[in-house]
Amino acid sequence: MKITDRFSKGEFVVTAEVGPPKGFHVDELVAEAKEYLSDIDAVNVTDNQSSVMRLSSLGFCKALKDAGLNPIFQLTCRDRNRMALESDLLAAALFGIDNVLCLTGDHTKLGDHPGAKPVFDLDSVSLLHTVRELERGVDLGGNELVGEPPVFAKGAVVSPCSDSVDAQLAKMERKVMAGTEFFQTQAVFDPERFISFMEKAKQFGVPVQVGVIIPKNVGMVRYMSQNVAGIVVPDSIIDELKADKEKTKAGVTGVEIAARIIRECRPYCQGVHIMALGWEAKVPEILKLAGI
């Protein structure tokens, strides 16, 4: 089910994210996803996230699809050249996976195979362009595909709280130009920054889902704020997590904060993308609290 259909109906689109395991035993993860993520619009499957080798995104997408969920196939340019990317996209079409999120990908040096060759034959923009070319029935080499071309809902990412907003907007524009139909954002902890970003981003007329990470504890948010690109955590959130240690430990504070961010951002965007990072079980609770 193309997620773009939801946007065009004017719905507030909800997605969440799961990471495939380092191994091929997926039953538990699929069961968990089924239990907690069945009611949302789609589930992103990460592609060797943080350059750590795992089960392929496509393989896990297939497993979710078979279990009745609606997967979004995340595809990075780090590990495959243009030919491998194109053939994986065709395989996705074969499996009926019709949502794809195109990313550049983290550098190989950051992960668990630092000696691997960083490919980056394409990048997020040219990958989106490639998807569009396939949809036109031709590959990047200019050769025609046999039979009906595939159709995807094409997504991309953007960092609204980046320290270089102008560069982000420029890149966003290029992604729109290359055919992006929806955006998911890097995690937002400061709705005000997000809102002022959206003031500028709305000109593109492409739906945006605000990205939300459940803040688990002070150490985690501090680390992200200092080290993760595009993430800024205001002191007020850190104070809030500090205030009642027991409550934070139980996950209640994080759920409250996540739900509040969604509520505050909702009037300015078209959906939410929740990165639960292992706390998938809390997703229904957050959505309830956020009034969705």
Partner 1 sequence: MLNYTKYKLKSDKELTPFLKETDNIFVVACNKCFKEFESVDEPDCAEFVKMAEEHGKTVTGSVRVDFLCNKIQTMKDLDIPEGTDNIFVVSCGLGVQTIADSVNVPVFAAANSLNYRGHHGMALTSKACDACAQCFLNITGGICPVVDCSKSLLNGQCGGAKNGKCEVDPTRDCAWEKIEQRLAKQGRLKEFLDQPVQLRDYSKVNYKAISEFVKTARESRLDGYYGGVHPSERKEMSEDISLVRFPEPDTVVIPLSMHSGAPANPLVEAGDKVKVGQKIGEAAAFISGNVHSSVSGTVLAVEPRPHPTRGGGVLSVVIQNDKQNEIADSVKPYGDIDELTPEQIVDIVKESGIVGMGGAGFPTSVKLAPNKPIDAVILNGCECEPMLTADHRVLLEYADDVIYGLRAMMKAVSAPKGIIAIEDNKPDAIELLQAKAEGIDGIEVVGVRTKYPQGAEKMLIKRILGRQVPSGGLPADVGAVVCNVSTSKAVADAIKTGMPLVERVVTVTGERIKNPGNFIVKIGTPIKELIDYCGGVTADDITIKTGGPMMGIELTDTDVPVIKATNGIIACDKDHFETLSCIKCGRCVDVCPMELKPLYFAKYHDESNWQGMLDMNVRDCIECRSCEYICSSKIPLVAKIKAGKSAIMEMNRK
Partner 2 sequence: MLVTKLKDKDTLVSLITGKAFVINCHGCKEVGFPEKEAEEFQKELFREGKITGVLTTDYICNPENLKLHLDMRSKEIDEADCVLVFSCGVGVQTVSEHLETKRVYAACDTFAVPGGQGVTPLEYDCKQCGECYLNLTGGICPLTACSKSLVNGQCGGAKNGKCEVDPNMECGWERIQRRLAMVGRLDALRCPVQIRDYGNEVDAAE
Element (H, E) at 262: helix 252-265
Among 140, 145, 220, 238, binds partner 2 (CB under 8 A): 140
Site for partner 2 in 100-129 (CB under 8 A): 104-107, 109-110, 118, 120-126, 128-129
Residue 209 and residue 180 in contact, taking contact as beta carbons nearer than 8 Å: no
> DSSP E strands: which ranges in 111-204?
153-158, 182-187
Among 22, 34, 109, 288, binds partner 1 (CB under 8 A): 109
- 108 near partner 1 (CB under 8 A): yes
Phi/psi at 190 (5° precision): -125, 90
Site for partner 2 in 170-209 (CB under 8 A): 170-171, 173-174, 177-178, 186
Say how far apart CA 239 and CA 290 lie, in whole Å.
Answer: 21
Site for partner 2 in 70-99 (CB under 8 A): 82
Among 228, 238, 252, 277, binds partner 2 (CB under 8 A): 228
User: Of the listed pieces 12-20, 71-79, 106-114, 180-188, which binds partner 1 according to CB under 8 A?
Assistant: 106-114
- 118 near partner 1 (CB under 8 A): yes
Amino acid identity of 24? F
Between 172 and 286, whose beta carbon lies closer to partner 2? Answer: 172
Task: Provide the 10 A C-beta neighbour count for residue 109.
Answer: 11
We find the least distance from the C-beta atom of residue 106 to partner 1, in angstroms, to be 14
Q: What angle do CA 272, 277, 280 make, to 5 degrees?
A: 70
Say how far apart CA 22 and CA 248 lie, in whole Å.
Answer: 29
Between 25 and 117, whose beta carbon lies closer to partner 1? Answer: 117
Alpha helices in 23-164 (DSSP H): 27-37, 57-66, 82-94, 124-135
Among 155, 230, 254, 271, binds partner 2 (CB under 8 A): 230
**Residue 22 DSSP symbol:** S
Residue 100 and residue 75 in contact, taking contact as beta carbons nearer than 8 Å: yes
Applying CB under 8 A, the residues found at the interface with partner 2 are 82, 104-107, 109-110, 118, 120-126, 128-129, 140, 157-159, 162-164, 166-168, 170-171, 173-174, 177-178, 186, 227-230
Catalog residues that contact partner 1 under the rule CB under 8 A. Answer: 108-109, 114-118
